[in-house]
Amino acid sequence: MKNRTLVLIALCIALNIGLGQAASTLKLPVFLDSIGTVLAALLMGPWVGMGTGLFTNLLWGVISGPVAAAFAPVAMVIGLVAGFAARKGLFRTLAGAVIAGVVITLFVTLVATPIRTYLFGGVTGSGADFFVAYLTAVGQKLLQSVALTVIWTNLVDKIVACLVAQAVVRQLPGRIRSLFPGAGNVA
């Protein structure tokens, strides 16, 4: 692995943890912890995106506790799907980046819902816990409450992550973009 890939991964991990910790501290109903993962996937492809997500959550789990580490499979899926969406050209347009966010959300829902439901009883300490509690209080079963919460909170979060990562790649100078093979997939 080249030095620039390792530096990119380290920077993206720091971005993920910094923004994610800010969102967690403020109890926002979004996570903001995958912008770096999507950025790594756009610049270096799905496997680097997957690794960035994995290492983010494992490191964050060591720093802050086991909840982040438990969601490492979710972070890996985000990197993979973002990287493959970029290869298919979805990040060439604004609408395509939004669609990529929707597709990522669908995959995240499949992976995150059982983790949040069966490992944590729907409560992870995030701002989204309010929605799970509300939906359960109005008669939804826990699994449905968690799935609906995961879909809606991640829909906003992943669209934002895709749009921000796309904007960052677009703003990189040409000489920097040329260092990263995936940058050509983002117009």
Considering the entire predicted model, what is its pTM? 0.94
pLDDT score, position 167: 98
Q: What is the DSSP string of the chain?
A: --HHHHHHHHHHHHHHHHHHHHHHHTT-SS----HHHHHHHHHH-HHHHHHHHHHHHHHHHHHH-HHHHHTHHHHHHHHHHHHHHHHTTGGGSHHHHHHHHHHHHHHHHHHHHHIIIIITTT--SSTTHHHHHHHHHTT--HHHHHHHHHHHHHHHHHHHHHHHHHHHHHHS-HHHHTT-GGGGG--
pLDDT tens over the chain, length 187 residues = 689 999 999 999 999 999 999 998 998 878 999 999 999 999 999 999 999 999 999 999 999 989 999 999 999 999 999 999 999 999 999 999 999 999 999 999 999 999 999 999 999 888 788 889 999 999 999 999 999 999 999 999 999 999 999 999 999 999 999 999 999 999 8
What are the domain boundaries of the chain? 3-185
pLDDT score, position 28: 83
> What CATH number should be reported for the domain whose range is 3-185?
1.10.1760.20
pLDDT score, position 183: 94
pLDDT score, position 29: 78
